[in-house]
Every structure is written in structure tokens, then in C-alpha cells.
Amino acid sequence: MTVTPLAGQDQGHGEGRLHEVTAPHDGGATVTGRDFPTNRGGLCRKGWSAAELLRHPDRLTAPLLRDPDGILRESTWSAVLPLISDRVRGIQSEHGQDAVAVFGGGGLTNEKAYTLGKFARLALRTSRIDYNGRFCMSSAAAAGNRAFGMDRGLPFPLADLGNASVVLLLGSNAADTMPPFVQHLRAAQAAGGLIVVDPRRSATARITEQGRGIHLQPTPGTDLALLLGLAHVVVAEGLEDRAFLASRTRGYDDVARGLARWWPERVQGITGVPATAIRATARLLARGARSAAEGGPGAYILTGRGVEQHADGTDTTTAAINLALLLGLPGTTASGYGTLTGQGNGQGGREHGQKADQLPGYRRITDPAARAHVAAVRGVPESLIPGPGLPAVELLASLGRAGGTRCLFVHGANPAVSAPDASAVIDGLRSLDLLVVSDFFLSETAALADVVLPVLQWAEEEGTVTNLEGRVLRRRPAVVPPPGARSELWVMRELARLLEAPSLFSDDPGTMFDELARASAGGLADYSGLDYAVLDGGPPAYWPYPSGSAGTPRLFLDAFAHADGRAVLVPVSPRADAAASRTPAPLLLATGRLLEHYQSGAQTRRVPELLAARPGPRLQVHPATAQALGIRQDDAVVITSTHGEARATADLSGDIRPDTVFLAFHFAGAGTANLLTGGSTDPVSGMPEFKTTPVRVTTSAAREHRPVGEERVAVA
């Protein structure tokens, strides 16, 4: 029996969950929950069924190579790797070094994420690397960095939430996306202090009905105005923590002046949230903050993708942080602000070099000292490290274009489904001279590839992940991988050798982790005091964990990470261009997740139990809206935006606002939600606008229809 730690929603296990994977003699595996501070033995449906994917008949076990007739056929490692290196050399010789790009994933282990960044910059010698975390965590990261000087999802252990009397949760349907997390909200719920902000009456919002909590249901895209209204009440009624603001922050005066015009009645007209509810919420938060300051139960503000996945997501998250700072919550022992990480290694995956502007340890690639340090660790001249590349949306928009990307490596991602403006992304993928995808199933992106490389799944590999608390966890293999599948570390080592790359590339995770630790030394995300022995035998390890330390479970208790030790309140307000882009046509589409599926669905749609529960895309529509449009329950509908159209089945529900429709993004083919979303991005974080796409909805021409299915590609 092997204990396998997982962070984030890797296969839906939730943040920092531990489960046990048992490998019987027949080569199969079973999953059972294990008690751990973040999950206390709980798993969600995706977690319980995760082992079914380890021996799935669709599993890739040999490299696939597209033949001259356009058919993917099985090949060998000895044939495809030299072909890839030769093609890379030819493309770069003709089009330049940056004609080759890499797209990574937030589900990669720390070792793979670190090595992928190194592989891109030293083996491929390209600046063009980014990852799918740009679609997930980038706005929260940008807001945290500018307010606190550092980004860690939760700057406190998750278990601290269990002592809270007030929790404001914005933009997260945790009851569906990470069910074991909900138990940490029970104390706040029992105290009548759970406040959920969501345009939908989601499973999480319904929890407020079981206690004396509050559900605020704003118009999509108006969370920023709502947060400004809450902060206005705090300042106007003298509810702020003036001692905290004076001693631990800067920027209060400018923020306070800007809040003067966001009185609740005005905010009600923008958001649809009653002014009385805005005042009641602000006062409840202030009471919780005062209680915490006096040694009572804590108060917390938490954000999720619903407020972050916008073209103004950084400013909206900043407004949430400003509210927390006004109340004196961050940097204390019983209260705080945090953001909920959304991928399997969503925290660690964004720390060690697979972002366009980043070096290991959360260093900026433009920082001369950071470049010199990392170059010295790797034993290469600093000049070999390229400068910043393109964030994900720009990178994908460059595919196949003149002067753009001609070759793309994809690791741990399925952008054909998960990226905005999916039709354009698919066209770009098809136009490449070379597309190389590493995966364990033939995802929709892999089906478009010239070369598909079969790699290991989570229970077959060793490494580390970092959960939303900044806790570094060991992952150990529980089952033997199928013959033919290889570690991505091995793939990068072999390709680096063929490309005559400088520095070390090893397929041993421990070796790469040790280099990661040295490369991160002195950075914000400092792992230099960690190795596998420490992780195996020591107490919980929270970064920063510099050499000689015992780690940092709670950040900012003494100082924030800016040079002066203070947090920064940053004035923000809604941008006219962002508001104009959300004019309903006549509806606004919000995309999101379901209990049964995860991310692009490439894995969960292969689990019979999960697929049977949610076999295809269903568009949630308010009954009054449906009646006005002539739509009945289970009708086939067509959703149209300026970017494309998608098809789904109507699901009438009073749990959504009449001006809003909801579509999950887990499905492929004609049901792909991102056929509708566009390429507009946050100017600070590069985050796409996923939550407020203007759309029209009509009934399909034929009322009798087959459910929207999956596109499958035959492999010879």
C-alpha cells in the first residue's frame, strides 16, 4: 500500500488531500480516503473513481506518429525522439529560436514544472513558454504580488478556517469543485457568518440556507463594484482597523477617497444586490474582524475563479484584498485573506519557471540578480537564459502565424478544449509545422498532434506537489506503469541530449528537486531547505523554507513581503471598456465546473460512472428566460456569441439569474463552452474573460436530437 499526496483538484481530490492507493496482485488499484488536515478522510466522486483511469483501455502505451496520409500510427521512442529534435532544429534554422514554444500545465509535479521551464529555455532556447495556470490563478497571483509582495494561495493552514465565525467566499462553488473543503466552513455556517457571492444559487450558496448565512447574487461581472460597496460601508461607518492600517499598510488615503462614490444604493443599481444586504454584509465582516482581534473566532475573505477569470480579474481580486486590509485581516494569527487554487499542482506549478516571465523561486526573469543566480546553479552563462515570453492567450494566438509559433510542445494541458476562442486555437494547432503532445490519453489536443508521447499518470510517478497552503507534499508511485509509457523527465532528458543542451537534465525526480531547491534559494518561493529526506521525516513543510529554517505555515505575521514590510492598498475601479464588453446579447454566459468532471474532461469523461451522471453539456437557463425564448426543458439549444456557437441541452432552473446562463467547460466537440469565449484578457495578469460572454440562445432546428457526443480519433 502506498500513500499518495495530491494537491489542488488533481483528479478531483481537492486541495492537499491524502488518499491511499492499493495495488492488488492483478495490477489494478483502488483508492480510499485517509485522514489529513485538509480533507479529514474525505474525497469527492472524482477522487473515488480515479483509479479506473490507471488501466483504462484508452491508455496510450506507445508513441504515435502521424503518417503522410494524416493517420496517427504507433511508432517507437527510438524513431520519434530523433525526428522531433531534427524538426526543431530545422524550424528554428528557418524561423528563429522563438518559432518553437512550450505550453505547460498546473497539474505537473514541481520537478516536471521546473524541468520544463529549464528545457524550454536551455534545450529549445526559446523564450516562449507559458501554461494553463494563466487561465486559472494568474489574476489572484498578480493581485497578491502587488498587495503583499508575494503570492501563496492561502498564507495560513487551511485548518485555520475551522475556527472562523465569518467567511466571505467570492466566486467559488467549492461544494461541487472540492467537496471536502466545505467541512472547513461549518463553524462559520453554524455561527451565521458564511457569506457566499455567486450569480447562481450553487451548491455552495445553498449551504447558507442551512444556517443563518448570506447569499449575494450579483449580476455577472459586477463583483468589483460589490466589493467597493462593501469597502465603502466599512470606511463610511468607521469600521476599519485604523491601528492595523497605520502600522502595517500604505495607500489608505487614496483608496478611501476612491470609495466615497460607491455608496450601497449606487452599487445596488449596478449589481442588483440590495443596499440593505450590502450594509449587513459589511457590518457582519467588521464584527468578525473585531472578534478575531480580541482573541475570538477568526474572519476570512476567500476568492475563487468566479471573480478572477475576467478581463478585470486582477482589480477585482485587489478590491477583495483591500477590503481584507481595511478590516485588518491579513498577517494575523486568527484571520486572513486567501485564494483557492484550482489545479492538481496549481500552487507549485506557478512557482518554478513555466510562466512566461518567471524563473524558479517565483523570481522575475527580468531581474539581473535572479538570472545570475539561476544561471550559476545550472552552470551556464546568464546570456543563455532568454528574456520574457508571451502569456498563454498571446502564445496560442501566435500559432501558425508569420513570425509566430511554428512548433509547439504541450505538457499537462488540453488547450483545444480549455483555451478561450477554441475554434481559433484549434485552427492554430492544425497550422503548425510540428505539434508534440505528451499525454496518457488521446485528448482533443493530442488528436491534432504530429507526435504523441505516452507519459505517466499520477499514481505511477514520484515527485512533489505544493498545495494551496504552500505545503510541499511527496508523491510516490503506487502502481507500475504500462510498458511503453515514459516519465516526462525522461523525455526531456533524451530530447535535451539530442539537442545538445547544456546543464543537467535527469530523469530522477530527486535530482531535479535538489536543483530546484538550489535554484529557488533566496527567491520568494524558497525551497532551499527542503529535500526528500526532510519531506519524508519532518513536520509539515510550508514554503518559504530557506536552508536552516522550519518553514513558514503562516505568512506575514511580522511583515509583508515588500521592502518596507507593509501591505499596499491599491485604488481600483471598474473600467469602462470591461463594463461595455459585458452588455448582454441578450444574456451573459458564465462557464464553470461540475461535481462529476474536472478541467477539460479528458480524464473524467472516460470514467463510466462520471460520464453516466453528466453525459453531455447542459445549459442552465432560468425558467422565465426560457419561456420568453420558447425553450422547454431538455430542448436542444444553440448558444451563439461573436466568437462562435456551441450546442447543448436546456436545463431549466430557478437557481440562476434570468439575465445569465451557465455552461460547464468539460465537454468537447460541438459542446465546447470555449467555442463561445473570446481572447480579451486582463492587462495585468493576462487572464482571459471566461465568466461574462454576451450570448444568444435559440432552440435547435430539430427538437429531437441525440445528446452532444465526443469526437474520437481512430488510431491505426
pLDDT digits 0-9 by tens, 539-553: 999 999 999 999 999
Q: Which of 192-201, 570-579, 641-650, 680-689 comes out lowest in average pLDDT? A: 570-579
Residue 108: pLDDT over 60:
yes
Residue 707: pLDDT over 80:
no
Long-range contacts of 234-240 (CB under 8 A, 24+ apart): 234/282, 234/285, 234/286, 234/323, 234/326, 234/327, 235/259, 235/326, 236/263, 237/282, 237/283, 237/286, 239/282, 239/283, 239/286, 239/327, 240/326, 240/327, 240/328
Residue 424: pLDDT over 50:
yes
Place of cell 531534427: 86
Report cis status (omega within 30 of 0) of the bond before 586. Answer: yes
Task: Say which residue, 531 or 212, is predicted with more confidence.
Answer: 531
**How far out from the chain centre does Cα 692 lie?**
18
Q: How many residues does the chain have?
A: 716
Question: What is the pLDDT of the chain when averaged over all its residues?
Answer: 89
Residue 55: HSE in the Cβ half-sphere, 13 Å Cα cutoff: 10
> What is the pTM for the complete model shown?
0.91
b/e sequence 440-469, b meaning 16+ C-beta within 10 Å: bbbbbbbbbbbbbbbbbbbbbbbbbbbbbb
At 111-139, the pLDDT tens digits run 999 999 999 999 999 999 999 989 888 99
At 206-217, the pLDDT tens digits run 899 876 799 999
Q: What are the structural domains of the chain? A: 77-136+345-457+486-537 (3.40.50.740), 138-340 (3.40.228.10), 582-699 (2.40.40.20)
Calculate mean pLDDT across residues 592-602: 68
**Residue 15: band (very low, low, confident or very high) from pLDDT cuts 50, 70, 90:** very low
Q: What is the pLDDT of residue 137?
A: 85
- Rounded to 10 deg, the angle between the 313-326 and 223-236 helix axes is 20
**Residue 712: band (very low, low, confident or very high) from pLDDT cuts 50, 70, 90:** very low
Calculate mean pLDDT across residues 524-533: 97
Residue 45: pLDDT over 90:
no
**Residue 458: band (very low, low, confident or very high) from pLDDT cuts 50, 70, 90:** confident
**Residue 14: band (very low, low, confident or very high) from pLDDT cuts 50, 70, 90:** very low
At 271-319, the pLDDT tens digits run 999 999 999 999 999 999 999 999 999 999 999 988 998 899 999 999 9
Number of H helices, E strands in the chain: 24, 27
Residue 17: pLDDT over 90:
no
Place of cell 475563487: 304
